[in-house]
Structure 1
Amino acid sequence: MSEGPNKRPPSPWLRNLGLWLVILIGLAVAVNLMQGSGSSSSAGTIAYSDFLARVDDGAVKSVEIKGDEIVGKTSSDEEFKTYNPGDNVLIERLRQKGVRFDAKPEESRSLLAQLFFNMLPFILMIGIWIFVMRQMQNGAGRGAMGFGKSRAKMLVQKEGRLTFDDVAGIDEAREELQEIVDFLKDPSRFSRLGGKIPKGALLVGPPGTGKTLLARAIAGEANVPFFSISGSDFVEMFVGVGASRVRDMFEQGKKSAPCIIFIDEIDAVGRSRGAGLGGGNDEREQTLNQLLVEMDGFDANEGIIIIAATNRPDVLDPALLRPGRFDRQVVVGRPDIEGREKILSVHMKKVPLAPDVNARTIARGTPGFAGADLANLVNEAALLAARRGKRLVSMREFEDAKDKVLMGVERKTMAMTEDEKKMTAYHEAGHALVSLHEPASDPIHKATIIPRGRALGMVMRLPERDQYSYHRDKMYANLAVAMGGRVAEEVIFGYDKVSSGASSDISYATDLARSMATQWGMSDKLGPLKYVENQEEVFLGHSVTRAQNMSEETARLIDSEVRTIVNAGYDRAKQVLNDHIDQLHAIAGALLEYETLTGDEIKTVMEGGTIDRGSATTTAVARPSASGAAIPKAGRRGTGQGSGIGEAPAGA
């Protein structure tokens, strides 16, 4: 009965174990042969003259002669050996002294045996070296002798197949790539009319927006092989390795065509040529040249579609972007509120949710979040629920997770003195009060004096809708809000008690004012011109800053305008706080009592209302004021080491 397909080949580790056992046995045999090449006796060697002296003294009991080798025993049964230098009277001498002796022929080996014995150690060394080299080259050519092999990994669809149903929030990009899927499914549909599918698609977008996920979904929809590789895998310190890997990658693709080759972070190898002093001999440029030839050269690579991803399309070589190579640039941007809701729904399918969870509400409170941010938000909420011993993830966990992602982890163990708490409370109250009195400012989401991350306190603001551009009035409102914390410290504690906590506020305001003056044409004196003070160049692989030629008069004018714009925000904040000092005291007092306030609670306190949190209530006496609505992120009182207000273009 034949075993047929039921017979399994031995596993690789068993084969390796057997080979190592053979090698060890061979080494042991070689050692034994080398030891056996000498005398089998363990006797000590003595000089021939000493041997003759012992014979004359009658101290030798017996000897055995093997050619030139003499092995014997003394009267006290001590073994010894020596070598006969050609003494012809030795036998007569032994007879005279009564020594018992024996003679045996010298062992002789054949020429072939001697040759094998002499070459065996070298044969074993060569065999071990070949084995080690083969082991190093196993698996995608990653060995010492496989520099030129491609490192592209093939995705096995049964292990993690993705389709467009798993991709949400980027419908426009998905529609653009649907044509590639249709071509991979039915190439004749296009070739029948003489059409040619684009050979490459470049996915452009910020980190975390789903570029890699989208590429995998294309392969899953078309059900074709998917090779994944990073741009940095091509470039090595050895000349020609990158170009060889590009050739090998396309050879693998031809064997599996139709297929998709996905190159992540292609800017690592696709940067514009000519930067630095490497010239045509630069290894990275040689790799790029080979990639250009393979994509659209003399050899036709039918059925191979290249999809690449980058968040730096501005640095790519123009030859990569011409028709015939990366014909299409697909923008994969941050999702809007509809997209965020769909993305949340995809990730929430894997999480047991409480009835009060509303994906739409969470999507409204997470403007600017990319797909990866939303996935992290859902995961953090699930971890919080597990930590609290809950079976379902409720809306409270999602809100706490959002605060953790936006503002950082609470540092509950950080000990602050009462004076530091009071200064932090007035600092954050200053931000909040100015924000509420600036109509162009975004609504306040939450204010806290609990240290989070590197900040001692912060005011987080979120926009009411997705925003794609910012107006002058909003920028001036953000400047005023940024200065609100510093001004509150001056008004309440005096000039000499101002702290270093506003360092990041000042840094943000300065950067925003400089951009307004030099890039966005919002300075009347400078006019609608762009003044770029610094340009970055690549020199020998490093980023080098080079100052652009600019007259001293222009530089002084720019500095003057930046100072004027920032001072305008400072004056506006000072006016608001002086006019509404009672509201400042009320908000600061509520922060000292509750430590964290929502935007609605701050409005209630400012208007003289009462905060109701179960049995705890507080009443704040204040004048009613106009509360403005309508850039996101936080105003933070930091430690004076750069922990400050939120990211641009968001205000303080």
Structure 2
Amino acid sequence: MFEQNRVANTPETLAEYVKALTRLDRLDTARFHALTQRGSGLGGSGAVRQAADYAPSSSSYTSSWGSGAGSGGGGYYGSGSAGGPGFAAGPALGAAGAAALGGSGSAAGAAAEGVLGSPKNPLVMTFAEPSFSSQMWRTVRTLGGAFILVTCLGTLLDDKGLTKSFLNNPDLKPQMNSSTRFADVKGVDEAKHELEEIVEYLRDPHKFTNLGGKLPKGVLLVGPPGTGKTMLARAIAGEAGVPFFYCSGSEFEEVFVGVGARRVRDLFTAAKKHAPCIIFIDEIDAIGGNRNPKDQQYMRMTLNQLLVELDGFKATEGIIVVAATNFAEVLDKALVRPGRFDRHVVVPNPDVEGRKQILETHMQKIPKSADLDLSVIARATPGFSGADLANLINVAALHAAKTGLKEVGMRSMEYARDRIVMGAERKSAVISESSRKLTAYHEGGHALVALLTEGADPVHKATIVPRGLSLGMVTQLPEEDVVNRSRRQMLARLDVCMGGRVAEELIFGPNDVTTGASSDLRMATTLARAMVTKYGMSERLGQVALDYDDGNSMSSETRAAVEEEVRNLVQGAYDRARAVLTKHERELHRLAAELMEKETLSGEQIRSMLGLRVVEAAAAANTVGKREGGGGGTTAIGMA
């Protein structure tokens, strides 16, 4: 590169070039003289002397230099007997060269050459860019090394159990003082009564083991979402004054095989150190589902370790495992057998009294207006869980604040209930006057038949404000939670369902009835079929239960008989509703006009406006028998 002038020509580079030639044994006489001539313009032969001092000591060649007259350096070069070329410059060579350059000739040479790095003699630097393949290989190599390092480090930490300390996992740090008590849990009195025995055991385990008895090691809380299962577990720990471990079933699963089993062991080891205590596993069905031979090994290892830990407990250790699930039917049989989770506590949705207590608890920190009646709201919210009721209070409070009210009253509560059950108001919906009139007569027919039919639930509200998919609705509230319904009550419900279609036919004629009664017809048909096939309320078919959905379980004659009985029940309800509305057609017109004007009327407003004597539901209508799902609750009949 020096010979091709690809580097700057300076004394330093010249000295390095001479050193390189000396090492390679390529410094001959001609090259040496060329170098001395080339270096004369760089400040004499000082650079050559500097390189000559680097020559090996074994060289026998010496040079005796004198002061040059104008060339900046001169000398004598001879050959020695060592066989290799070499030279040694006298110590006065640099000074002599510098003196030789002191004249006018040296000044002219410096001006001609210029200063290195000046505009006349610029310093040129060239950088060689790496190729694309080398860059790609370097990137892949770096990423691969980082991935291998992180994977090895994570596996090592997880295997040694250091991850928990690094991540500060709360599973191994129990809550020492739970502030929740049984008095804070409302609407599940039966469940609290069953769990009081667990509290007594945690307070004094020897009291129960003196006679050789053993309490269950595991308690399984089963119920719908939002009923307070986690709160019950916290209440057990708070009442007993013991530490409380909380974890979720999904926390035990990990991508590495065996991690879930190790976490189960760590959890139970920490629990034994804090005994007596409570371990609460929420959503245990995530790891406790039915085992299948086709399952992967890691899916079975976690459950197997949990089963072993439950069996390893002693009766005197004072550790209670409480688990919660919404799907008890999917749990493995080995998990719920006696000796493990053998006590099942059902946590159902609260009844009307429980809903009232829950509403009162949530309303303690919220200002209430004088017209607020929580018992009415409790009756209007059948099937609501504790979480649903908390959401109801929250929506009502937000609505009251939005409308500028200082207190939460019945108006806000009704708004919140309708929004949760039926959906938000469709304020942007453009409804013609004829459609509003038809909806008013439709809902008026429902309300009037409900008021004048024995066995029907009392009318709570009628409205023609569109909500969700409905253009209007009539809400009926039972006086109390209904466990069973009599045949009279079911027939009354059929009559109310047919009231809307009958009102349309009476006012607008058979040719102008609309599709608004589709949901009413579907509800009436479903109820009539249940009366025939499930409840044994058909005189023709007798006291039998039939599986109508299974086409192979009954003959074609039986299916035809069922359809005939269903048609008779629905047609009978239609005839009764028509008789009621024909007799009270004047009241129907008044009620429809009032609905078109005010859009929403309460049951009290309807009764006072019409001045009718409402037939109350008979007290003896409720019979003792098996409870049917969905038997009790609010009836909302509307126009789709």
TM-score (norm 1): 0.69
- Does the alignment pair 1:465 with 2:484? no
Counterpart selection for 1:156 from 162, 166, 175? 175
Residue matched to 1:578: 582
Higher CA-based Rg: 2
Matches within 5 A, 1:425-464: 425-464=440-479
2:536 is aligned with what amino acid?
Answer: G
> In 1, are the aligned partners of 2:350 and 2:386 still within 8 Å (CA)?
yes
1:428 CA displacement: 0.9
Residue matched to 1:633: 634
> In 2, are the aligned partners of 1:260 and 1:304 still within 8 Å (CA)?
yes
Q: Do the aligned partners of residues 132 and 584 (structure 1) sit closer, same or farther apart at CA in structure 2, a change above 3 Å counting?
A: farther
Task: Determine the C-alpha separation between the residues in 2 that align with 1:577 and 1:141.
Answer: 77
1:599 CA displacement: 0.9
Matches within 5 A, 1:35-434: 46=1, 50=4, 62=11, 64=13, 70=17, 86=24, 88-89=26-27, 93-97=31-35, 98-100=37-39, 101=47, 102-103=50-51, 129=149, 133=153, 152=171, 156=175, 161-234=179-252, 242-273=260-291, 279=294, 281=296, 284=299, 287-296=302-311, 302-360=317-375, 362-434=377-449
Deviates most, 407-416 or 213-222: 407-416
Cα deviation 1:383-408 (Å, max 9, x = unaligned): 23322334443454444444444444
Cα deviation 1:591-648 (Å, max 9, x = unaligned): 11111111122223333xxxxxxxxxxxxxxxx5653447643444454xxxxxxxxx
1:289 CA displacement: 4.1
> In 2, are the aligned partners of 1:246 and 1:291 still within 8 Å (CA)?
yes
Task: Determine the C-alpha separation between the residues in 1 that align with 2:314 and 2:398.
Answer: 53
Task: Determine the C-alpha separation between the residues in 2 that align with 1:92 and 1:300.
Answer: 105
Task: Determine the C-alpha separation between the residues in 1 that align with 2:600 and 2:302.
Answer: 55
1:423 CA displacement: 1.5
SS at match of 2:461: strand
Matches within 5 A, 1:552-571: 552-571=556-575
Deviates most, 126-135 or 172-181: 126-135
Task: Determine the C-alpha separation between the residues in 2 that align with 1:169 and 1:225.
Answer: 25
- Does the alignment pair 1:485 with 2:485? no
Task: Determine the C-alpha separation between the residues in 2 that align with 1:365 and 1:127.
Answer: 59
Task: Determine the C-alpha separation between the residues in 1 that align with 2:419 and 2:246.
Answer: 33
Task: Determine the C-alpha separation between the residues in 1 that align with 2:291 and 2:145.
Answer: 47
Task: Determine the C-alpha separation between the residues in 1 that align with 2:170 and 2:566.
Answer: 51
1:633 is aligned with what amino acid?
Answer: T
**Percent of aligned pairs with the same amino acid:** 49
Task: Determine the C-alpha separation between the residues in 1 that align with 2:576 and 2:480.
Answer: 26
2:408 is aligned with what amino acid?
Answer: V
TM-score (norm 2): 0.70
2:193 is aligned with what amino acid?
Answer: E
Name stretches of at least 5 consecutive residues in structure 1 with no aligned partner.
1-45, 73-81, 107-120, 536-546, 608-623, 640-652
1:344 is aligned with what amino acid?
Answer: L
1:95 is aligned with what amino acid?
Answer: H
1:239 CA displacement: 5.8
> In 2, are the aligned partners of 1:430 and 1:487 still within 8 Å (CA)?
yes
Task: Determine the C-alpha separation between the residues in 2 that align with 1:558 and 1:90.
Answer: 123
1:452 is aligned with what amino acid?
Answer: R
> In 1, are the aligned partners of 2:214 and 2:315 still within 8 Å (CA)?
no
1:448 CA displacement: 0.4
Q: Do the aligned partners of residues 60 and 466 (structure 1) sit closer, same or farther apart at CA in structure 2, a change above 3 Å counting?
A: closer
Cα deviation 1:509-538 (Å, max 9, x = unaligned): 333333333333334455444444669xxx
Cα deviation 1:228-253 (Å, max 9, x = unaligned): 23334445676655545444433343
Task: Determine the C-alpha separation between the residues in 2 that align with 1:496 and 1:282.
Answer: 67
Task: Determine the C-alpha separation between the residues in 1 that align with 2:610 and 2:362.
Answer: 39
Q: Do the aligned partners of residues 338 and 637 (structure 1) sit closer, same or farther apart at CA in structure 2, a change above 3 Å counting?
A: closer
Residue matched to 1:615: none
Q: Do the aligned partners of residues 390 and 296 (structure 1) sit closer, same or farther apart at CA in structure 2, a change above 3 Å counting?
A: same
Task: Determine the C-alpha separation between the residues in 1 that align with 2:300 and 2:511.
Answer: 58
Task: Determine the C-alpha separation between the residues in 2 that align with 1:71 and 1:549.
Answer: 109
Task: Determine the C-alpha separation between the residues in 2 that align with 1:388 and 1:443.
Answer: 30
Cα deviation 1:65-110 (Å, max 9, x = unaligned): 78xx7499xxxxxxxxx9999461368514334233454989xxxx
Task: Determine the C-alpha separation between the residues in 2 that align with 1:267 and 1:520.
Answer: 34
Name stretches of at least 5 consecutive residues in structure 2 with no aligned partner.
40-46, 56-140, 619-631
The alignment's C-alpha RMSD in Å is 4.4
Task: Determine the C-alpha separation between the residues in 1 that align with 2:476 and 2:438.
Answer: 21
Name the structure with the higher strand share.
1
Task: Determine the C-alpha separation between the residues in 2 that align with 1:141 and 1:273.
Answer: 27
Task: Determine the C-alpha separation between the residues in 1 that align with 2:316 and 2:606.
Answer: 64
Task: Determine the C-alpha separation between the residues in 2 that align with 1:330 and 1:156.
Answer: 23
Task: Determine the C-alpha separation between the residues in 2 that align with 1:200 and 1:240.
Answer: 24
Residue matched to 1:23: none
Residue matched to 2:489: 474
1:445 CA displacement: 0.5
> In 2, are the aligned partners of 1:505 and 1:636 still within 8 Å (CA)?
yes
Q: Do the aligned partners of residues 342 and 452 (structure 1) sit closer, same or farther apart at CA in structure 2, a change above 3 Å counting?
A: same
1:583 CA displacement: 2.5
2:634 is aligned with what amino acid?
Answer: K
> In 1, are the aligned partners of 2:587 and 2:610 still within 8 Å (CA)?
yes
The count of corresponding residues between Structure 1 and Structure 2 is 530
